Chains A and B, each alone.
Chain A
Amino acid sequence: MRGKKGKFIVPGDPVGTIAAQSLGEPGTQMNMRSFHYAGTAEAVPTGLPRVIEVVDARRTPKKPMMDIHVKERYAKDEKKVRKIANNLEHVTLHKIAGMMEDFDKKVILIRVNPSELKRLGLDMRLIRAKIVEFLGNKAKVEQRENKVRIKFSKKEKIINIRKTMNKLKLLHIKGIPRIEKAMIIKEGEKYFIRTGGSNLAEVIKLPEIEVGTVWTNDIMEVNKVFGIEAARNAIVKELKIIMDSQGLPIDIRWLLLLSDAMCKSGTIQAVGRHGLSGHKAGILARAAFEETMKHLVNASIKAEEDKLSGVTENVIIGQIVPIGTGIVKLKFASGRGTQKAKK
């Protein structure tokens, strides 16, 4: 069949199998090639490990990342962009201060690094305020220059001091949680921010940010913030990035098909036992894949019926698979033909 815009897929074409083969065959090469990079410090997983990450629908990627473009009027101003980047970086107390607990005197000593303070444009009053706010009336807070002294009552249990200490270490001072690092990258004349760690929901709230251009490699987060349609596009985009980086020419329509299959239920399903293959329609097809007993027993409890509509089921029972030439069926109109013959 040929239309005005090119070739169409013919009814009965096993697009799923062809998609799997089109992705799988270059995938073997990708695996072989990734061995060449052995020993190189590759910060972000690319190649096969990253494909597995996407296709398995992992909760978070191994190295979450964001690309954040700022509004047009700031983009060429390096200083401005840097300032925005600095405000993104998540700063906790122990990152800018040395902390010590003294169980005899029931005291926590905090010594804030002044150069860090200056770099981040913070001042001690703010930090003091944050600590006081966190502690409430649990302990007394004394501050002299860059030193903070937290005094507990003499009766305070040591375990509580340690608990408070651990919580204090992670005290939020500034920035957006989970964004561990933010650097600025020049692209042409413009600058944009690349971050280690991802927090889409918070980042898009910032006024300086051009929301439409924010990119994250955390697909689950995209799904949570923008919904399944966006997640579907994110999967395609992520896979395309990997394939392009490996120089594998894969038609985007196979990626679209894979992505559609993963997102068809409204949530992101992994490819495998817990996702797509585990939710196939046919009992036999599921049993043939993995966890045979589980599927057979569950099917018998529910008295399920296998309609024999898939490929695997028909191969097992030895029928013609309903695909390609097997999808065509002839029907014989017995009514009129036979009656005429009788007469």
Chain B
Amino acid sequence: MNEHKIAVYVNGKLIGQYYDSGEKLLNLLREQRRIGRLSDQINFSYNPKLKSFYVNTDRGRVRRPYIIVKNGKSMLTDEIKDQLVKGEINFKYLLDNGIVEFLDAGEEENAYVALTEDEITEEHTHLDFDASTIYSVVTASLPYSNHNLSVRNTMACSQTKQALGMYVSNFNIRMDSRSHIMYYPQVPLVQTAAYDFLNLKKRPAGQNFVVAVATYYGYTMKDAIIINKKAIERGLARTVQFKTYKITELMYPGGQKDKFQIPLPTTSGYRGEESYKYLDEDGLISPEVPVSGGDVIVGNTSPPRFLEEISVFGVTEEKRRENSLSIKSGDKGIVDSVMVTNGIDGNRMVKVRVRDIKVPELGDKFSTRHGQKGVIGLIVPEEDMPFSENGIIPDLLINPHAIPSRMTVGHLIEMLGGKAGSVDASIKDGTAFTGDDFESFKKVLADHGFDEYGEEVFYDGLTGKKVKMKIFMGVIYYQRLHHLVSNKIHARSRGPVQLLTHQPTEGRAREGGLRFGEMERDCLVGYGASMLIKERLLDESDKATILVCNQCGSTAVHDYIRNRNYCPVCDSTDVSIVEVSYAFKLLLDEIKSIGIFPRLITSDKAE
């Protein structure tokens, strides 16, 4: 076997062998690509262990650009940088002239990439544009992420995606089925380089809060946050929720159609005059009408399901069905706009957008860009909040315990940076690896008469006493996340039951009950609370009364005409009235349906 024999694959298919060193081939082909003799979209990689050389030209490879390094020198010289800044050359020029090239995942394995120009050695083959470009789009928008644990950054990324802000500017004419817009969104005081490229300055999703790291009588326990009531009243973190309801005038076979109208009292399922009081003559609601759960917003009637019999006078009177669109139970708001249009199938369609202002309330979720999420634990009147020596009252308090174990140092640096930015009226750069140094914030703060580490003397708002320790206060970007209690709150005592099983429905949307499951049942069994089990599983669920024949054990029936109970199997009138769960009655029916005859043997309860 030839030691130098190397297998060459093109797009994963073996096409031949090469009888020299793989590195040589790699350099040769790379050179050809750089001078433009091969397409810049072709990538090469060599695996010396497998003695395989791969050429990839197919689609679907993830590629990213690098600056080429030759003999320990970056090809992107100061000269070229100047030309770029002046606008004389563009990125295409860099690509065509062997200054920049795209590498795919395979070729990256053969590259030795320097993160900064200073660390380039003879061995390096490429230089990255910036150290922070190793991050994804979302991660790149996190400030000082190089000071955090990676799991915290991962969490911060997913939380950033849930933040409410200004996701579009044409929200007034959009009919999104559900959307949120923040009232006074702000650009963060600590930004990253990615903010320029991602247009995040135009579509912010959060506000800069004045935050003190302090406890408040145990209400900050387990990541709960304290919010200043006055700050909320001034509009802090206020959002508006838009929800769109849709209804179409459907066509039915036989030329019948739905009709938008105020239903006539003769309509089957008529909800009463009161329900339709908001509707105009055309059956639609007007804008700016306050509505709440159950209110009809579009009146609609459907043709009858079955053709009516001809009445005595020979005139068919059409009995239409009520089929109106109403607000979901638990929702409320003000009708924002009403749109009439044609649907995909050409039928008339109405969309009603309802707006609801969501003021922050107990239980709403907030997070910073460091994976530090929390829910509001208490809303405190401004006069009861702790205040600093200068009279500054924080908007929000977070628990000091949130910091040490999670080691989100970036959170603290951002607080300091935000504070420095707000005293010298500038936006700070928090780009990972290359952003503003926190030493510079210390200087700014000291120059403006603040403690350089951001700690301040505080007074308790309730007692007026000085707090023994200095408290760390800064300004940090907070995001309101779209988990609002008002959209989740749910309770039930009595309510709807399922048609099939007669058991309570499931889920908030159906006003359902909370399941008393198997393990919960086992707990009561273990405690010996038999009566409680029966109450939960029978009396409060699907209690049913059935008649059982004492002679043959089959289910008996009640004869309304003769007002007596009798067994349809053996004609006996010796019948017991038995309380069982409806589910058991169903079980009996199903067993019968597979051809097994279940008999119930009755006996007296006292025996």
Contact = CB atoms under 8 A, between A and B. Distances in A.
Contacts of B581: 316-318
A297 interface: yes
B68 to A, nearest CB: 41
Interface in B340-397: none
Contacts of B584: 316-318
A21 B529 contact: no
A331 interface: yes
A331 B534 CA distance: 21
Nearest to B583: A316
A218 to B, nearest CB: 33
Interface in A272-309: 296-297, 300, 305
A318 B537 CA distance: 7
A316 B596 CA distance: 18
Contact of A17 (B525, B530, B538, B597): B525
B583 A17 contact: no
Contacts of B580: 317-319
B601 interface: yes
Given A316-B584, A318-B543, A332 B530 contact: no
Contacts of B591: 296
A325 interface: yes
Contact of B528 (A297, A315, A325, A330): A325
A325 B534 contact: no
A259 to B, nearest CB: 20
Contacts of B526: 14, 17-18, 21
B579 A321 contact: no
Given A305-B601, A316-B584, A324 B521 contact: no
Interface string B575-597: 00001110110010001001011
A261 interface: no
A296 B594 CA distance: 10
Contacts of B522: 17, 20-21
A326 interface: yes
Interface string B379-422: 00000000000000000000000000000000000000000000
A257 to B, nearest CB: 14
A319 B534 contact: yes
B527 interface: yes
Contact of A12 (B528, B543, B594, B601): B528
Interface in A84-110: none
Contacts of B533: 315, 320-321, 326
Given A14-B526, A17-B525, A297-B596, A320 B531 contact: yes
B596 A321 contact: no
Which of B525, B529, B597: most chain A CB closer than 10 A? B525
Interface string B11-35: 0000000000000000000000000
Given A296-B596, A316-B581, A321 B534 contact: yes
Interface in B174-222: none
Contacts of A18: 526
A12 B522 CA distance: 15
Given A296-B591, A323-B525, A318 B579 contact: yes
Contacts of B537: 315, 318
A311 interface: yes
Interface in B255-300: none
A324 to B, nearest CB: 2
A339 to B, nearest CB: 18
A22 B465 CA distance: 51
Nearest to B595: A300
Nearest to A332: B606
A13 interface: yes
B601 A325 contact: no
A316 B531 contact: no
Nearest to B578: A317
Which of A305, A320, A332: most chain B CB closer than 10 A? A320
A14 B587 contact: no
Nearest to B598: A300
Nearest to A287: B587
Contacts of A317: 580-581, 584
A123 to B, nearest CB: 48
Nearest to B521: A315
Interface string B596-607: 110001000010
Nearest to B579: A318
Contacts of B525: 14, 17, 311, 321, 323-324
Nearest to A327: B530
A93 B526 CA distance: 58
Contacts of A318: 534, 537-538, 543, 579-581, 584
A327 B528 CA distance: 9
A316 B587 contact: yes
Contacts of A296: 591, 594, 596
Nearest to B587: A316
Given A18-B526, A324-B527, 4 more contacts: A17-B522, A320-B533, A325-B531, A327-B530
Interface of A: 12-14, 17-18, 20-21, 296-297, 300, 305, 311, 315-327, 330-332
Interface of B: 521-523, 525-531, 533-534, 537-538, 543, 579-581, 583-584, 587, 591, 594, 596-597, 601, 606
27 contacts: A12-B528, A13-B528, A14-B528, A17-B522, A17-B526, A20-B522, A300-B596, A311-B525, A316-B587, A318-B534, A318-B537, A318-B543, A319-B534, A320-B531, A320-B533, A321-B525, A321-B530, A323-B528, A324-B527, A324-B528, A324-B529, A324-B530, A325-B528, A325-B529, A325-B530, A326-B528, A331-B606
